Amino acid sequence: QVQVVESGGGLVQAGGSLRLSCAASGNIFRVSTMAWYRQAPAKQRELVAAIERDGTTRYVDSVKDRFTISRHNARNMVWLQMDTLKPEDTAVYYCNAIGTQNVFGVEFNSWGQGTQVTVSS
């Protein structure tokens, strides 16, 4: 199986910064997409940022120009640099990794346990 572990959450004031880290491990042949999702109380989980192996990125409009996603393919790691944080960014942030486990094309779609980000006003 494939395990995903994220960390780096915490409590910050509005305007502050945090950097989230995530690593995928286990039975991995290739990780295709790595992404960060978040879920606030009483809200649906939403995609925050995603990055492909070639470095192509996408962001939800609300975080563009404030957040930056990056990855290291060989280490199966991804980061989310969050700047100019706002109270509405408060949520549990989850790391997601999608790829194949072996040469036969067996796929995986694994999630981390989540890390809490709280932004005070």
- Which pLDDT tens digits describe the chain residue by residue (121 residues)? 999 999 999 999 999 999 999 999 999 999 999 999 999 999 999 999 999 999 999 999 999 999 999 999 999 999 999 999 999 999 999 999 999 999 999 999 999 999 999 999 9
The pLDDT, as a whole number, for residue 46 is 98
Predicted pLDDT at 104? 95
Rounded-to-integer distance, Cα 66 and Cα 108, Å? 30
Question: Which 3 state secondary structure label does DSSP give 102?
Answer: coil
For position 25, what pLDDT does the model report? 97
